[in-house]
Chains A and B, each alone.
Chain A
Amino acid sequence: MKCRELAEFLNDYVSGELAHETRTHFEFHISKCKNCHEYMVQYQVVIKAGKIACDELSDEMPPMPEELIKAVLASRPKN
């Protein structure tokens, strides 16, 4: 397996969907190739970083524009 192929299989590897034989080749390559190993580490970091940065409970987002607040309130269903 070449680095180019390994990069193509990363997605399936990290989601555990790689067929047994391909997985063996993948793991053999990555155990020998520092560069591909680093690339895989960063690929996984990116997935996790996205999740943490966009946490739904985060209150780091700027408030909603005032005119949109007014529009939302004006269109709320009345009991």
Chain B
Amino acid sequence: MASAAPVDDEATLVAQLRAGDEAAYEQVVRAYGGRLLAVARRIVGSEEDARDVVQDAFMNAFRSLDRFEGNAKLSTWLHRIAVNAALMKLRTRKRKPEQSIETLLPGFLDDGHHEERFKSWEEPVDKMMERAENRELVRKQIDALPEGYRTVLVLRDIEGLDTEETANVLGLTVNATKIRLHRARQALRTLLAPHFRSAES
């Protein structure tokens, strides 16, 4: 799919934004909106909430332009604002009932051994992730995780929040958050395995 035109000169763009230049606002929204919407969707799940989050994020960003420091990247700064807006959304919304993840967890025999013999994956992770179709696949499978698990995985492993922060935002105990993260990673492994295992092993 086509992506928005990249921004070549951030410093000039920021100066134009600060001066209230309307074309600059539009350029920023077009250039970064798509990825902020993707981040918001990944955290809050629903399309409607994600759109609210993006609106809030841009509003907050445009209001606090004077707090943007020139040595940061505009994309990183906007990303952080969008994550915060998404967290705010999670805090204020009613919690949904937990979905089951059992079928995506590893099974064990009575003697405690794994039911499955794990076939090795074809390439080292860096090599695998050089390919756009694999990056797309991983994003898709993250989105396919049951809601409460996806959110924990995204906040901890992707956005880098610590366990306490994540627990706090989601209204979970620290222990429940750890368990969910562990299950989410295991489930994601199960979802990715058929695509990543090497043909000959």
Contact = CB atoms under 8 A, between A and B. Distances in A.
A60 B132 contact: yes
A31 interface: no
Contact of A59 (B6, B20, B59, B112): B6
Nearest to B63: A77
Minimum-distance CB pairs A-B, first 7: A2-B112, A64-B33, A53-B138, A11-B182, A52-B129, A38-B118, A61-B34
A10 interface: yes
The interface size bin for chain A is 35 or more
Of listed B54, B63, B76, residue having the most chain A CB within 10 A: B54
Interface string B157-189: 110000000000000000000100110011011
A69 B35 contact: no
Given A3-B113, A54-B42, A61 B135 contact: no
Contact of A39 (B75, B118, B137): B118
A4 to B, nearest CB: 4
Contacts of B118: 35, 38-39, 42
Contacts of A35: 113-114, 117-118
Contacts of A2: 111-113
Nearest to A67: B51
Contacts of A73: 22, 25-26, 29
A71 B59 CA distance: 11
Interface of B: 1-4, 6, 20, 22, 25-26, 29-30, 33-39, 42, 51, 54-55, 58-59, 62-63, 73, 75-76, 79, 106, 108, 111-114, 117-121, 125-126, 128-129, 132, 134-139, 142, 153-154, 157-158, 178, 181-182, 185-186, 188-189, 192-193, 196
Contact of A64 (B30, B75, B128, B188): B30
Contacts of A39: 106, 114, 118, 189
6 contacts: A43-B189, A59-B6, A60-B135, A61-B3, A61-B37, A72-B29
Interface of A: 2-5, 7-8, 10-12, 35-36, 38-39, 41-43, 45-54, 56-64, 68-69, 71-73, 75-79
B55 A43 contact: no
A69 B33 contact: yes
A3 B158 CA distance: 28
A38 B38 contact: no
A26 B54 CA distance: 44
